[in-house]
Structure 1
Amino acid sequence: MTQSTTFYWYDYETFGLDTLRDRPAQFAGMRTTLQFEPVAEADVFYCRPSMEYLPGVMACVLTGITPQTAAEKGMPEVDFAKRVFKELNTPATISVGYNSIGFDDKVNRALFWRSLLDVYSHVWRNGCSRWDLYPFVLAVWALRPEGVEWPKVRGTDPDKPERQTFKLEKLTAANGIEHSHAHDASSDVSATVALARFLAEKKQRLWQWALNNRTKTKVAEALDTRRPCLWVDPRAGQERGFLRFVMPVARNPDNQNEYFVWDCREDPDQLTSLSPEVIARRAFAPAFMREEGEEPLALRRLRINECPFVCADLRVASSSVCERFGIDLRQVVDFGEKLTRLHGMIEGPVLQAWQIFEEQNKARFESEGPKDPETALYDGFVSEADRARAQGLLNLDFETIAEQVHDGRLYFDDERLNELLFRLRARCAPQTLNDAEREKWLAECRKRLTQQGAATTTLEKYFEEIDSVRDRYETLLNEGSITEERYEAIEKTLSDLWDWGDQAAEYAQVEG
């Protein structure tokens, strides 16, 4: 980091939770110094959805942003993407949000991919990097909770005790931080900055340590000590304090940014008696692929380039922390030493297990047929030649691009990119399509609206969901659980969504 390094705090509101297939609705960002002082006016802008896209009904109900609102206030997705790209790629920028690595940065990558922009440059080029406030919040709660109010909520089961909640709006309210409109990107960004400032002031040493040790180089150094490291992992669960004590078993041969680590709260001896096939099921495969009664192993995938909170000094887990979460540090160290002794027996089967899992994955995806280019982001890196061609598009208007495509002067070696460019023109400059391209685009739109799996939903299911949500909120109104004013606002949103579905059907010339 240098004196010119800045934070760029950002947040998306989206039309759904599928980061590859759903679309952004609103973006907000605020650039500050590392001391949280604003250095520019905050950014707030909307993304105009394309007409063949059907938004998630509940997403619109929660945010109040309908596709009509985004269409009226927004810009075409390619222009929206370029604006986000410019901010995140400003030299020496640390892009950061609340659960941004878990969600928002995945939205970034899909957005940049569809717009033929460099998907990864904002996390490494020109001194740029990223961070995420959410794991740090979990670390403060687990390791140094004093001086912060930690709200609890009760679930739907009245017999179960209250649980901690780490929702941004709950944390800000509990600690007297202004957060006027949850699920509004601008309000969420302001609240995130205020929460970060509050925690940095309360936990200065922990904040500075986490900021300085978030890079993959620092994380790899910690793991390479060959001793158990504390990892704050949101997937570890609240009962365990979101804490794992991990040591590397192997490095992913297909991705050097990923380690296979063992949680030393468990005895590694069990790995010596398991076949690679069983390890593959219990460590790497999703739950539905495990056999009945099989429990997941304490073997996890840790990606060092996702800014994990990993600390090699176990003294950070004080005696009070260990007592609170039932941690036996002596046993952790003993299991770590055992893992070192067993490493030669374990590493090979774990790597074989990974290859088995990868081959099964490949076979499963091949059986599903060709993948849509828009969701094929992770199916291989783009060549330098194609990257240069995509970069060259930034200086061309769509008419020039179309002319070069039609006379064969503009094409990519990677067929995914040729299809993405075609769809970019169809959505943003339909006047540049020739007759054959117009027919192709119309067929693609019909497929997306009528075929299950071609998009996030079909027209039929979309209308069914609107009716279902309307019935649900009508029941809540009759029970007195929501106000008349809230119900009317939801009804207006649902009415707009129905109209959008009708317009999409007309656009794609879908019958009935």
Structure 2
Amino acid sequence: ALADVYATIDLARLVRKCQPKLYKYLFDLRNKKKVTGMLNLQKQEIVLHVSSRYPATLGCIAPIVPLAQHPRNNNGIIVFDLRHDPAPLLNLTVQEIQDRLFVSKKDLPEGEERIPLKTVHINKCPALAPMATINPQQTEKWLIDPELAAKHADTLRANPALNKKIMQVHEGHDFPATSDPDQNLYGGGFFSDGDRRKMNDLIDMSAKDLSKTRMQFDDPRIPEMLFRYRARNWPQSLSPEEQQQWDRFRKDKLSNPEADSGITLNEYKKQLAEKVMQPETSSHDRAILLELADWPASINL
């Protein structure tokens, strides 16, 4: 975790050095009043929101409009992704919206989509920007139609009762917590003193000893964390059954859009192919791209 902190700090320094105006703009969004001004529930202006909760294929960006204060979190503003038709939000009942909001996409009935509501936390320095900051080339690339977004926003603003409805949807509900320890490291509480002592012992063990350890832990996250620790650092220490388990995990991460990996293997290949076919790509760069395209096969993916 400490290595992540150092990497984040160095990355922030690099952004400050290379893009000082961008750095200052985002740094100033620590101010909750500034964020609240952009997500004003009276004005309901369209803004751009950058978040990993939007697909990487869409640039992790979306045009949004603020609709309601979160009923249980004073720092939460509920927004709507204006790429989508607001008709289901307007026409469905509170229960029907909950059934299509607080659920994983893979668990939705065939043909149904999640209601595109999200909560922006004004105390977490969200990345927001005016719509004017995006140019026509970017809107085309990220499939953002400003005219359609404005039309959807007008439809939502014309329904003043929607504010109360959205608050009812979120009253007593939240998104299901993830069970993946990689994504839930800070979401499952602190490790017990006993578990921390055992984890310190694990650090000093050899790969051979790690594969044989039968330590029992209080926290259910640790066994899976230990398995992935071994697989990532000493794959040769895995048994045949463990290797199959690791291969399944990797393939799911790279092929399942719901695995929160940022980009799937198919999208990776598609983007490489597009770059290879671009006329301005040099022969040197094309050779590198082709090597990258061969990479999945080299690790049996």
Residues 355, 424 of structure 1: CA spacing in aligned structure 2 closer, same or farther, 3 A cutoff? same
Aligned to 1:200: 16
CA distance in 2, matches of 1:376, 1:236: 24
1:277 aligns with 2:90: no
Alpha-carbon distance in structure 2 between the residues aligned to 1:470 and 1:361? 28
Of 165, 189, 202, which residue of structure 2 is paired with 1:349?
A: 165
Alignment of 1:138-177 (within 5 A): none
The offset of 1:239, in angstroms, is: 2.3
Instruction: Report the alpha carbon displacement of residue 319 of structure 1 after superposing the two structures with TM.
Output: 2.0
Instruction: Find the aligned partners of 2:21 and 2:98 in 1 and give their Cα distance.
Output: 40
In structure 2, relative to structure 1, the CA distance for the partners of 1:376 and 1:321 (3 Å cut) is closer
SS of residue in 1 equivalent to 2:113: coil
Deviation of residue 375 (structure 1)?
6.9
Q: Deviation of residue 376 (structure 1)?
A: 6.3
2:156 to 310, 327, 339: 339
Equivalent position amino acid for 1:291 in 2: P
Q: Is the 8 A contact 1:263 1:298 kept in 2?
A: yes
Query: Judging changes above 3 Å, is the alpha-carbon distance between structure 1 residues 338 and 198 closer, same or farther for their aligned structure 2 residues?
Result: same
Task: Give the direction of change, closer, same or farther, for the CA distance of 1:357–1:314 in structure 2 (3 Å limit).
Answer: same
State the shift of 1:424 in Å.
3.8
Pair 1:229 & 2:1 matched: no
1:37-436 equivalence runs, <5 A? 97=5, 188=7, 193=10, 195-224=11-40, 225-287=43-105, 289-311=107-129, 313-344=130-161, 346-355=162-171, 357=173, 377=189, 424=193
Match of 1:124 in 2: none
Alpha-carbon distance, 1:446 to partner: 8.1
Deviation at 1:230, TM superposition (A): 0.7
User: Alpha-carbon deviations, 1:409-438, whole Å to 9, x = none?
Assistant: xxxxxxxx9xx9xx548977xxxxxxxxxx
Write the deviation string for residues 70-103 of structure 1: whole angstroms up to 9, x where unpaired: xxxxxxxxxxxxxxxxxxxxxxxxxxx5xxxxxx
Give, in whole Å, the separation in 2 of the partners of 1:267 and 1:276.
17
Paired residues of 1:251 and 1:259 also in contact (CA < 8 A): yes
Matches of 1:299 and 1:343, distance apart in 2? 17
| Number of residue-to-residue matches in the alignment | 214
Query: CA shift at 1:238, angstroms?
Result: 2.3
Cα distance in 1 for residues equivalent to 2:243 and 2:68: 52
> Residue 78 of structure 2 aligns to which amino acid in structure 1?
F
Shift of 1:197: 4.1
Q: 1:301 to 1:254 in 2, by over 3 A?
A: same
For the residues of structure 1 that align with 2:56 and 2:196, how far apart are their CA atoms? 44
Task: Kindly indicate whether residue 238 of structure 2 is the aligned counterpart of residue 466 of structure 1.
Answer: yes
Q: CA deviation at 1:228?
A: 0.8
Shift of 1:243: 1.4
For 2:223, what is the secondary structure of its paired residue? coil
Query: The residue matched to 1:207 in structure 2 has which SS?
Result: helix
| Length-normalised TM-score, structure 1 | 0.36
| Partner deviation per Cα, 1:134-187 (whole Å, 9 max, x = no partner) | xxxxxxxxxxxxxxxxxxxxxxxxxxxxxxxxxxxxxxxxxxxxxxxxxxxx6x
Quick one: distance in 2 between partners of 1:293 and 1:356?
27
**Distance change >3 Å, CA 330–CA 427, structure 1 → 2:** closer
**Per the alignment, in what secondary structure is the counterpart of residue 230 of structure 1?**
strand
Name the SS for the 1:343 alignment partner: coil
Q: Could you state the TM-score of these two structures normalised by the residue count of structure 2? A: 0.58
1:448 is matched with 217
Task: State the one-letter code of the partner of 2:173.
Answer: F
Displacement after TM superposition at 1:231 (Å): 0.5
Q: Residues 250-290 of structure 1: CA distance to partner in whole angstroms, max 9, x if unpaired?
A: 11111111121111222323312101112112223333553
- Structure 2 distance, partners of 1:348, 1:274, is 14
Deviation, 1:467, is 1.5
Structure 1 residue 324 displacement after superposition: 2.3
C-alpha displacement of 1:214: 3.3
Maintained 8 Å contact 1:447/1:454: no
Unaligned runs of 5+ in 1: 1-11, 13-26, 30-96, 98-185, 363-373, 378-416, 429-444, 483-512
Task: Return the offset for 1:299.
Answer: 1.2
Cα distance, 1:288–1:355 mapped onto 2, change above 3 Å? farther
Post-superposition offset of 1:307:
1.4
In structure 1, how many angstroms separate the alpha carbons of the residues matched to 2:298 and 2:139? 42
- Is the aligned partner of 1:457 residue 2:274? no
Matches of 1:206 and 1:332, distance apart in 2: 25
Could you tell me how far apart the structure 2 residues matched to 1:276 and 1:349 are?
A: 7
**Equivalent position amino acid for 1:298 in 2:** P
Distance (whole Å) between structure 1 residues aligned to residue 242 and residue 194 of structure 2: 36
Higher Cα Rg, which structure: 1
C-alpha offsets along residues 222-251 of structure 1, whole Å, 9 cap, x if unaligned?
101411111112221122221111112211
